Amino acid sequence: MSYLFVDQIQEHTTGQRICGCKLVRPDELYLTIGRANHPALLPAVVGEALGQLGAWSVMHASQFQYRPVAGVVDQVTIYDDAYVGDLITLTTEIVTWDEQAIDYHSVATVDGRKILAIDHAIGPMLPMTEFNDPQRMQQLFIELSNAQTPWVEDMQTSLPSPCALIRYDQMVDWQPGVQVIATKYIPAKAAYFAEHFPRKPVLPLTMLLSANLALAQQWLMEWQPSIGSSLVPYQLRKIKMRNFIAPETTVTTVIKLKAQHNDQIVLQIVNQVDTRTVCGLEVIFHDANTQSA
């Protein structure tokens, strides 16, 4: 199953600005139950589509010699869900790029409605040959640039089961309102490794974020049963992927309460491999019933 999420490149000023789209299909692997109780794409996958769009631009600009990988993201704001049948418009503005790093902003919309925005994502640029076949990537870029706007006739789908790829295996410590520690084994057969990346499979940051958010939500629901189901992740801040996570690794995740005020709960999340911090971020959850994004 592919882990490439841009269906069409619509406009492109090389290394500066790129627009594209992604259709949320009923047979997507990465679906969840959205705020309107309809099947929706995992928000982190919308972010992945935006990141991949920016990557296409700078890969093209570097003549497919370099590719960006996940690094630091200052802020991601999740405004709404993208549901099955939605055509997501993706726009990425590249602030700067060179052979060392890319810095970009992105926004995803559906019919003009803002879904998700990324502020200042900074990703290291690494030699393309370590991760992908440059010729294949160049060919894919041409195909995406010449692609038709995607469309499928039958958008009917039932509510999805929670995506197994983002489920934690074991709860090590579970203290509602204090902290949760959980572990997850990353199997080599996970579907995303085929494309992420063919020559060097590593866990996509967006899959790790999805797992973190699902775990945090489950913990909040137990801690705050009266409002838990309406608490939704609104903003992710200071995200950083420090090391690649290879297949067959066990990730230990620690979630702690950082702050709580009004209708917002701020969590600190750290992912570790062998006691080494490989990823960290802050997440703000808010009550979807009392706040509009």
Partner 1 sequence: MNVESVYPKVKQILVDVLFIEEEQVALDKRLIADLGAESIDFLDLVFQLEKEFDIKIPRGQLEKNARGSLSEQEFEENGMVTERGMQALREYFTELPADQFPNTLKISEIPSLFTVETFCKVIIDAQQKAASQAV
By CB under 8 A, name the binding residues for partner 1: 71-72, 74, 98, 100-101, 120, 122, 124, 238, 240-243, 270, 277, 280
Cβ nearer to partner 1, comparing 46 with 69: 69
- Based on CB atoms, which residue is closest to partner 1, 110 or 269? 269
Instruction: Kindly tell me which of 220 and 279 has the beta carbon lying closer to partner 1.
Output: 279
Shortest distance in whole angstroms from residue 276 CB to partner 1: 8
Cβ at position 150, least distance to partner 1 in Å: 34
Helix (H, G, I), strand (E, B) or coil at 34: coil
Three-point CA angle 58, 1, 13, nearest 5°: 20
Count CB neighbours of 188 within 10 A.
10
Query: Shortest approach of partner 1 to residue 98 CB, angstroms?
Result: 7
Task: Calculate helix-pair angle for 43-61, 205-223, nearest 10 degrees.
Answer: 160
List Cβ neighbours of 66 (8 Å cut-off, separation of 6 or more): 58, 59, 99, 125, 126, 127, 128
Report the residue number, 4 or 101, with the smaller CB distance to partner 1.
101
192 three-state secondary structure: helix
Q: How far is the CB of 21 from partner 1 (least distance, A)?
A: 30
Q: Closer to partner 1 by CB, 167 or 258: give it.
A: 258
**Using omega within 30 degrees of 0 as the cis cutoff, is the peptide bond preceding 131 cis?**
no
> DSSP secondary-structure letter at 100?
S
How, if at all, do strands 179-186 and 231-241 pair?
unpaired
CB of residue 171 to partner 1, shortest distance in Å: 22
Rounded least distance, CB 284 to partner 1, Å = 16
Closest to partner 1 by CB, 8 or 77? 77
For residue 265, what are the CA distances in angstroms to 77, 282, 283?
A: 15, 10, 8
